[in-house]
Structure 1
């Protein structure tokens, strides 16, 4: 017996939307992890929940390194690599990625400061 094809549209109920996001986010992260291991690739995901919380995932390399690698691609190669709904990556996407990268670096710095405060004898490589 086959599955019923769901219509893809916004879930109106906030609770159901959050639950669906959480389940699908976990599935997406699992698939990204498997792809990174099986194919030995660099991968990075950034997601914002319906409530605005940031979720991110990267494979074997730091997410900052993956985005820096993407940003440093020649414009033509980057535009060919990123197509979303028929539109090529533009300056707005680059600025968004740079802002997100800066935010992640800031969050990482705060986490390192907290770790150094809580565990002063722990040697933390950054």
Structure 2
């Protein structure tokens, strides 16, 4: 006997919605994104906010989210499918975030130890 197919619609009960997101969808989606990035050797960024506003994110094996967002922003409007009105501001902000991330990683990594991203390459 198979599972009953549920219609795809918003879960009205706030508690049930939060439980469904945190226990099932978030971890399952992050796991699928990880597998897809490894199996297909693709650059992937996944950013999610829970119903309560909590951030979950994933970036592929070699690139950080900022790199992938910059690649997306720099696509021609026709290829991206929309126009970004404040493109220069986004590029500047992402550059700052990337620099901050690199500085933080440099401070956290003890001398003589490779970062996990460097070991994967």
Fold agreement, TM-score > 0.5: yes
**1:14 shift after superposition:** 1.7
> 3-state DSSP class of the match of 2:58?
strand
Tell me whether 1:31 sits opposite 2:32 in the alignment.
yes
Shift of the alpha carbon at 1:91?
Answer: 3.2
Which ranges in structure 2 are unaligned for 5 or more consecutive residues? 116-121
Q: Does 1:91 align with 2:84?
A: yes
Q: Which has the higher contact order (CA 8 A, sep 6+)?
A: 2
- Tell me which stretches of 4 or more aligned residues in structure 1 moved more than 3 Å: 89-92
Aligned residue pairs total 105
* Cα RMSD (Å): 3.2
Q: Structure 1 stretches of 5 or more lacking a match? A: 80-88
Measure the CA separation in 1 of the matches of 2:5 and 2:14: 22
Q: Which residue of 2 aligns with 1:52?
A: 53
Q: Is the 8 A contact 2:77 2:83 kept in 1?
A: no
Partner SS state of residue 46, structure 2: strand
Instruction: Name the SS for the 1:91 alignment partner.
Output: coil
